[in-house]
């Protein structure tokens, strides 16, 4: 019995020691990881964070959607004409960065969809897909002027 | 006389550099980008700010400073990072005439 108790005590001691060892190993591996990261000094490292402005710009990019039938419309079924702002740019691939002061117009009085598309074109605006409109409207960049 | 390609920093004086326990953040106002560099990455920029240097010079200097073996693999890593710095507009290549 005494020996059994000794064994039990020994096992208990092991059980107690193990978490302590594990904890110190965790600490060790953390410091090892840190040292490893530091020792990555053996090779030069650069990581780049892009500017917030550049990220904002990507949320302002839309592709013109020439088909009036499937372009973004209001609940009344009138075409939403997005007029790029003064700082807008057309990228090489035809995508438009609508800039910071873009507007959206619903032409009044409404005519046929083709007529509205022509009015939009005359106003320097572009038709966009419903998805693109949702994106720029959700971002709060453009609100519709009726 | 022959020409040799050197690297030199671009707009070094405009960079905002902060050290964070042997690691560095470097804000580049021209691009609006913030770069994170480790010690060796930063050392390259600092060395070039002191004087333009060729790729070979940079490799030799870094190997000596960081007590590393100067082999082809190491040189390739340095060439890669120099090209990356170049793409980011942190450094540029210049040709200088040198006497043989």
CA distance A35 to chain B (A): 12
How far is Cα of residue A108 from the mean position of the Cα atoms in its chain? 35
Nearest C-alpha of chain A: how many angstroms from B56?
A: 15
In sequence order, the 6+-apart residues with CB closer than 8 A to the CB of A76 are A110
pLDDT tens readout for residues A9-34: 444 444 334 443 444 445 545 555 55
Query: Dmax of chain A from CA atoms?
Result: 101
User: What's the predicted TM-score (pTM) here?
Assistant: 0.51
- Does residue A36 carry a pLDDT above 70? no
To the nearest whole angstrom, how far is the Cα of A29 from the nearest Cα of chain B?
19
Residues 6+ apart with CB under 8 A from A104: A80, A81, A82, A83, A133, A137, A142, A143, A144, A145
B interface mutation test: which of A39, A43, A44 has the most B CBs within 10 A?
A: A44
Chain B residues whose CB is inside 8 A of the A40 CB are 38
Q: pLDDT tens digits, residue range A67-97?
A: 888 898 888 888 899 888 887 878 767 788 8
Which region, left, alpha or beta, applies to residue A6 given φ > 0 means left and ψ of -120 to 50 means alpha?
Answer: alpha
Q: What is the maximal distance between C-alpha atoms in chain B?
A: 45
Contacts of A100 (CB under 8 A, 6+ apart): A60, A85, A87, A141
Mean residue pLDDT of chain A comes to 70
Q: Which residues contact B40 (CB under 8 A, 6 or more apart)?
A: A41, A42, A43, A44, A45, B62, B66
Considering only CB atoms, which chain B residues are within 8 Å of A41?
A: 22, 38-40, 66
Which three-class secondary structure state does DSSP give residue B82?
Answer: helix
Chain A residues with CB-CB distance to B under 8 A? 38, 40-54
Supply the ipTM of this predicted assembly: 0.82
How far, in Å, CA of A7 to CA of B3, rounded? Answer: 80
């Amino acid at each position: 019995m005494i020996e059994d108790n000794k064994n039990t005590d020994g096992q208990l001691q092991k059980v107690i020691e193990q978490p302590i060892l594990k904890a110190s190993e965790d600490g060790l591996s953390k410091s090892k990881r840190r040292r490893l990261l530091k020792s990555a000094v053996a090779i030069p490292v650069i990581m780049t964070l892009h500017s917030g402005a550049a990220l904002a710009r990507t949320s302002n990019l839309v592709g013109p959607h020439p088909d009036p039938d499937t372009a973004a419309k209001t609940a009344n079924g009138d075409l939403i004409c997005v007029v790029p702002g003064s700082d807008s740019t057309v990228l090489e691939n035809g995508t438009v960065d609508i800039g910071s002061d873009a507007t959206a117009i619903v032409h009044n009085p409404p005519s046929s969809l083709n007529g509205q598309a022509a009015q939009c074109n005359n106003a320097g605006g572009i038709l966009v897909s419903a998805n693109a409109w949702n994106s720029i409207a959700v971002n709060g960049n453009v609100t519709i002027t009726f | 006389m022959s020409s040799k390609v050197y690297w030199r920093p671009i707009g070094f004086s405009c960079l905002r550099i902060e050290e964070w326990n042997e690691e560095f953040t470097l804000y580049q106002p021209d691009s609006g980008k913030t770069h994170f560099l480790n010690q060796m990455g930063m050392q390259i920029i600092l060395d070039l700010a002191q004087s333009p240097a060729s790729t070979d010079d940079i490799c030799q200097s870094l190997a000596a400073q960081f007590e590393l073996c100067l082999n082809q693999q190491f040189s390739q890593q340095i060439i890669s990072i120099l090209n990356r710095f170049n793409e980011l507009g942190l450094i540029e290549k210049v040709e200088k005439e040198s006497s043989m």
